[in-house]
C-alpha cells in the first residue's frame, strides 16, 4: 500500500487559516489503513481545526467528507456538491489522490494534508516499512524476493557495499542491510549461485527516469 | 601491458608495490596538491586521489590527478557512482585518459548522509561492479556502455576496492571474484588492523586462486592518536579495529611513534602473506608520515617512474 503521514498540525492550521471555508477530504483506501487520512483522521482533524478557529475567533467554515478512493474519477464525483461551497480543499489522500482532486476542480485551491512517503507494508501495529520504488521492471526473482532498489540505501544491484556491518546498513544501524538479507535468503533457498552472477546495469527508463509513466491496457479501454 | 601506468609496470614486474592516498583540498589551491605530491612522490609507485571521500566536497579527483601527472607522477583516479551517472562517468574517463591518466579505482562511495550535503540526491545509476564492466568494455571493445563505438579508446588500468572486514564475511570473497570477472586489474583493500581476520580472508582468496587473477594491495592507515583510533573504531563504517590497538595507543608514551609502529608491523605481517602484492597507505591528513613508514619497512627507494614513450607522444600530437 501507499504509506503516508499527516503533515505537522501547525502547517495544516496555517493553511486552513488562509481561507474562510475549507473542505477536508479523507480517502478510504491506503491512507485509511495506515491511519493517516481516513474517515477517522478526517473527522479528528476537522474538529481540531474548528476548535482552533473558535479559540482564535477566526471565521472558518469546515466541511468534511471521506470518499472510497481519491485516485479514481468515479469516487471523487461525490465531492462536487460540497466543493461548490468552499474556497479551498484539503486532501488527506496520497499525492496521486490530491492531484486528481486538483484536476477535477480547476478553480479551487487544493492543499495536501499528508506527506506521501512510500510503497510499503505494515510490519506491526504502528510500524510501516518501505518495500518498493515502482521501478517498472521487477527483479525480485534474482534477489530472493528482497528488493535492493527500495531497500538498499545505494540501490546496489551487486551488493553489499563495504559498510555492511553485523547485518545492518551503514546509513542507519536500525535498518537491515538489504544485501545481508538477500545473501541469507538465497543461501537458505539453495540459490547461492545467484550471488555469483553479476546483475547487469538496470534499464531505468521504465522507472521514474523515463519521465512520467502511463499504463494502457487495450483489452480494458472503452 | 595494457597501459603506460607505472603501477601496472611495478605490479607486472613482481615487485612489491606501494601506493599512497592523497585527499584533495576543500578549496581551489593547487599548492595543496603540490605539497602533498612532494611528500608522496618519491615513496609511492602511484597516488590515489579520493573522489569526495565520505561525501564531503573537495577538489575533483581528475583535476587533482592532472596536477600530479604534470609533475611526472602516476595518479589513481577514484570514481564513485554516488554522484555521477553512466553518461558523466564515461565522459570523465575519456577526459582523464586524454590527460594521460590510466589508473581508475571503481567505488560505489560513502552515502551522502555522512558528508557535508546530507540533503542531496544520490545517483547510483550503476554500482561499482558495473562500473568495472563499463570501463573494461571501453578499453577492450572500444565501445561505450550503450554499444556505440569509441574512436580512440581510453587505456585503463582498472582497480577496485574490497573490504575483508565487512559482512557477510564469506560473501566478501564471492564479491571479490565478481569484481575480477567484471575486469578489475588490481584491488586495494580496506585498511587492515586485524591481521588475523585479513589472513583468514586471504586464505579463502587463495583457495579460489583469486590472487592469481588480480593484484591485491593491502590497505593500511597510520593512526596519529588514541582519540583517532577510538573515533575510527566507533564511527567509520566498514573499519574493524581490535581493542588491543586502541589500548596500545592509550598506553603509549610517544603516541605518534606507537602509531607508526603499529602501521609498520602491520605492513611487515601482511607482506609475508602469500598473494599480497603491495600495500596502499591511507594517511589522509598525515601524508608527511608516509616517507618514514615506507623507509622503515625497507621499501625505499621505489623503482623509477617510467616516463611515457616520447615517440608515442609525438605521433599522437601532429603539431608536436
Ligand atoms: S525491483 Fe522494482 S518493482 Fe520490484 S520491488 Fe523493487 S522497486 Fe519494486
Ligand atoms: S549497508 Fe547494505 S543496504 Fe546499506 S548501502 Fe550498503 S549494501 Fe546497501
Q: How far apart are CA B279 and CA B296, in angstroms?
A: 14
In three state form, how does the secondary structure of chain A look? CEEEEECCHHHHHHHHCCCCEEEEEEECCHHHHCCCCCHHHHHHHHHHHHHHHHHCCCCCEEEEEEECCCCCHHHHHHHHHHHCCCCEEEECCCHHHHHHHHHHCCCCEEEECEEEEEEEEEEECCEEEEEECCCCCCCHHHCCCCCHHHHCCCCCCCCCCCCCECCEECCEEEEECHHHHHHHHHHHCCCCHHHHCCCCCCCHHHCHHHCCCCCCCCCCCC
pLDDT tens, residue by residue, B181-205? 999 999 999 999 999 999 999 999 9
Q: Which atom of ligand 1 is nearest to the CA of A147?
A: 6
Domain B6-316: give its CATH architecture: Alpha-Beta Barrel (3.20)
Closest residue by Cα to residue B123 from A222, A154, A42 = A154
* Burial class (CB within 10 angstroms; exposed 0-12, middle 13-18, buried 19+) of A195: buried
Do residues B45 and B72 lie in contact, with contact meaning Cβ atoms separated by under 8 Å?
Answer: no
Domains of chain A: 2-118 (3.40.50), 135-203 (no CATH)
Radius of gyration of chain A (CA): 22
pLDDT at site A130: 98
CA atoms of B106 and B161, how far apart (whole Å): 7
* CB contact at 8 A, B249 and B258: yes
User: Is the separation of the CB atoms in B77 and B156 below 8 Å?
Assistant: no
* Ligand 2 center–CA A155 separation, angstroms: 8
Main-chain phi, psi angles of B154, to 5 degrees: -75, 145
For A133, phi then psi, to 5°, come to -110, 5
CA of A130, nearest ligand number: 1
B246: CB partners within 8 A, 6+ apart: B226, B229, B230, B233
Q: Taking a C-beta distance cutoff of 8 angstroms, is the pair B68, B37 a contact? A: yes
pLDDT score, position B318: 41
**Atom 8, ligand 1: which residue's CA is nearest?**
A132
Contact (Cβ atoms closer than 8 angstroms) between residue B47 and residue B18? no
Q: According to the model, what pLDDT value does residue B319 have? A: 42
Question: Smallest CA–CA separation between A154 and chain B, in Å?
Answer: 6
Closest listed ligand to the CA of A152:
2
pLDDT in tens, B268-317: 999 999 999 999 999 988 999 999 999 999 999 999 986 654 444 434 44
Query: CA–CA separation, B294 vs B203, rounded Å?
Result: 26
| pLDDT tens digits, B12-25 | 999 999 999 999 99
- Which ipTM value was assigned to this complex? 0.94
Q: Which residues of B touch A159 (CB under 8 A)?
A: 127
On the question of pLDDT at B122 being above 50, the answer is yes
Domain extents for chain B?
Answer: 6-316
Residue carrying C-alpha cell 553485523:
A166
B71-115 pLDDT per residue, tens: 999 999 999 999 999 999 999 999 999 999 999 999 999 999 999
Query: Whose CA is closest to B217, among B49, B19, B47, B6?
Result: B19
Q: Do residues B116 and B55 touch, judged by C-beta distance below 8 A?
A: yes
Residue range B146-183, pLDDT digits in tens: 999 999 999 999 999 999 999 899 899 999 999 999 99
Write the CB contacts of B6 (distance below 8 Å, at least 6 apart in sequence). B45, B46, B74, B305, B306
Q: Is any atom of ligand 1 closer than 6 Å to the C-beta of A150?
A: yes
Per-residue pLDDT, A210: 94
CA of B237, nearest ligand number: 2
CB atoms within 10 A of CB A54: 10
How many Cβ contacts (< 8 angstroms) between chains A and B?
Answer: 87
Contacts of B133 in chain A (CB under 8 A): 198, 201
Atom 4 in ligand 1: residue holding the nearest Cα: A138
Please report the pLDDT score of residue B244 as a whole number. Answer: 95
Q: Between B82, B109, B125, which is nearest A204 by CB? A: B125
Average pLDDT for B227-256: 93
Shortest CA distance from A182: residue in chain B: B168
Strand pairing class (A168-169; A172-176):
antiparallel
Query: How far apart, in whole angstroms, are the C-alpha atoms of residue B314 and residue B320?
Result: 6
User: Looking at beta carbons, which residues of chain A come within 8 Å of B108?
Assistant: 154, 156, 161
pLDDT tens for the 222 residues of chain A, in order: 999 999 999 999 999 999 999 999 999 999 999 999 999 999 999 999 999 999 999 999 999 999 999 999 999 999 999 999 999 999 999 999 999 999 999 999 999 999 999 999 999 999 999 999 999 999 999 999 999 999 999 999 998 999 998 999 999 999 999 999 999 999 999 998 889 999 999 999 999 999 999 999 999 998
Tell if the CB–CB gap between B129 and A198 is shorter than 8 Å: yes
Q: Is A177 in the pocket of ligand 2 (CB under 6 A)?
A: yes
Q: Indicate the SS3 state at residue B111.
A: coil
The pLDDT value recorded for residue B308 is 55
Strands A2-6 and A114-124: antiparallel
Q: Is A169 in the pocket of ligand 1 (CB under 6 A)?
A: no
Nearest by Cα to A76 from A22, A114, A26, A133: A26
Out of B108, B181, B182, whose CB is closest to A156? B108
Q: Tell me: pLDDT of B130 over 90.
A: yes
Q: What is the pLDDT of residue B285?
A: 86
Determine if ligand 2 sits within 6 Å of the CB of residue A161: yes
Enumerate the residues of chain B whose CB falls inside 8 A of the CB of residue A158.
127-130, 175, 178
Proportion of chain B above pLDDT 90, given as a percent:
91
Q: In this structure, what DSSP letter does residue B139 have?
A: I
Q: Minimal Cα distance from B122: which residue of A?
A: A154
Q: Is A146 in the pocket of ligand 1 (CB under 6 A)?
A: no
CA distance A169 to A151: 10
Q: What gap in Å lies between CA B93 and CA B109, rounded to an integer?
A: 17
Tell whether B120 is within 8 A of chain A (Cβ). Answer: no
Average pLDDT of every residue of chain B: 94
Give the integer Cα–Cα distance in Å for B54 and B46: 22
- pLDDT on residue B307: 61
Q: Residue A92 has what pLDDT?
A: 98
Smallest CA–CA distance, residue B286 to chain A, in Å, is: 23
User: What does pLDDT average to over chain A?
Assistant: 96
Per DSSP, which regions of chain B are E strands? 17-22, 46-49, 75-80, 103-107, 157-162, 186-191, 215-220, 276-281
Give the residue on B whose Cα is nearest the Cα of A166: B167
Closest CA to A37 of A113, A132, A141: A113
Amino acid at each position: 500500500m501507499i504509506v503516508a503521514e499527516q503533515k505537522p498540525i501547525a502547517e495544516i492550521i496555517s493553511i486552513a487559516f488562509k481561507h474562510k471555508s475549507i473542505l477536508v477530504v479523507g480517502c478510504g483506501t491506503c491512507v485509511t489503513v495506515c491511519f493517516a487520512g481516513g474517515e477517522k483522521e478526517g473527522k479528528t482533524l476537522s474538529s481540531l481545526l474548528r476548535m482552533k478557529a473558535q479559540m482564535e475567533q477566526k471565521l472558518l467554515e469546515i466541511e468534511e467528507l471521506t470518499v472510497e478512493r481519491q485516485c479514481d474519477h468515479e469516487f471523487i464525483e461525490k465531492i462536487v456538491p460540497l466543493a461548490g461551497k468552499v474556497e479551498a480543499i484539503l486532501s488527506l489522500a496520497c499525492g496521486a489522490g490530491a492531484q486528481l482532486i486538483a484536476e477535477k476542480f480547476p478553480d479551487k485551491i487544493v492543499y495536501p494534508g499528508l506527506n506521501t512517503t512510500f510503497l510499503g507494508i505494515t510490519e506491526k501495529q504502528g510500524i510501516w516499512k518501505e518495500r518498493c520504488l515502482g521501478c517498472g521492471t521487477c527483479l525480485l526473482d534474482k534477489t530472493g524476493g528482497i528488493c535492493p532498489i527500495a531497500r538498499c540505501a545505494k540501490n546496489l544491484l551487486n551488493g553489499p557495499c563495504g559498510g555492511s556491518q553485523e547485518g545492518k546498513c551503514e546509513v542507519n544501524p536500525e535498518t537491515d542491510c538489504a544485501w545481508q538479507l538477500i545473501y541469507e535468503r538465497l543461501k537458505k533457498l539453495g540459490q547461492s549461485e545467484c550471488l555469483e552472477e553479476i546483475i547487469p546495469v538496470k534499464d531505468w527508463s521504465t522507472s521514474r527516469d523515463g519521465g512520467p509513466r502511463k499504463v494502457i491496457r487495450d483489452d480494458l479501454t472503452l | 601491458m595494457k597501459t603506460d601506468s607505472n603501477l601496472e609496470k611495478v605490479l607486472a614486474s613482481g615487485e612489491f608495490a606501494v601506493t599512497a592516498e592523497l585527499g584533495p583540498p576543500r578549496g581551489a589551491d593547487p599548492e595543496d596538491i603540490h605539497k602533498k605530491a612532494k611528500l608522496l612522490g618519491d615513496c609511492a609507485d602511484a597516488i590515489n586521489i579520493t573522489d569526495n571521500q565520505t561525501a564531503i566536497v573537495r577538489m575533483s579527483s581528475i583535476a587533482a590527478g592532472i596536477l600530479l601527472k604534470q609533475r611526472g607522477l602516476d595518479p589513481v583516479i577514484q570514481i564513485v557512482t554516488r554522484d555521477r551517472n553512466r553518461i558523466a562517468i564515461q565522459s570523465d574517463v575519456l577526459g582523464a585518459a586524454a590527460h594521460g591518466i590510466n589508473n581508475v579505482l571503481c567505488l560505489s562511495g560513502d552515502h551522502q548522509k555522512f558528508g557535508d550535503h546530507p540533503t542531496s540526491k544520490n545517483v547510483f545509476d550503476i554500482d561499482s561492479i558495473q562500473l568495472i564492466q563499463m570501463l573494461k568494455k571501453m578499453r577492450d571493445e572500444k565501445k561505450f556502455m550503450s554499444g556505440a563505438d569509441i574512436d580512440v579508446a581510453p587505456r585503463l588500468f582498472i582497480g577496485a576496492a574490497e573490504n575483508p572486514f565487512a559482512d557477510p564475511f564469506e560473501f566478501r570473497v564471492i564479491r571479490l571474484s565478481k569484481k575480477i570477472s567484471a575486469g578489475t586489474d588490481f584491488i586495494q583493500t580496506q585498511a587492515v588492523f586485524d591481521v588475523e581476520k585479513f589472513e583468514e580472508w586471504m586464505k579463502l582468496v587463495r583457495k579460489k586462486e583469486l590472487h592469481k587473477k588480480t593484484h591485491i594491495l593491502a590497505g593500511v592507515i597510520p593512526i596519529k592518536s588514541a582519540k583517532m583510533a577510538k573515533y575510527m573504531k566507533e564511527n567509520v563504517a566498514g573499519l574493524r579495529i581490535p581493542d588491543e590497538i586502541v589500548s596500545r595507543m592509550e598506553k603509549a608514551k610517544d603516541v605518534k611513534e606507537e602509531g607508526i609502529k603499529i602501521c609498520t608491523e602491520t605492513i611487515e605481517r601482511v607482506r609475508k602473506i602469500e598473494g599480497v602484492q603491495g600495500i596502499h597507505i591511507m594517511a589522509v591528513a598525515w601524508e608527511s608520515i608516509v616517507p618514514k613508514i615506507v623507509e622503515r619497512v625497507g621499501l625505499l627507494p621505489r623503482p623509477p617512474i617510467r616516463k611515457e614513450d616520447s615517440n608515442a607522444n609525438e605521433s599522437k600530437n601532429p603539431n608536436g
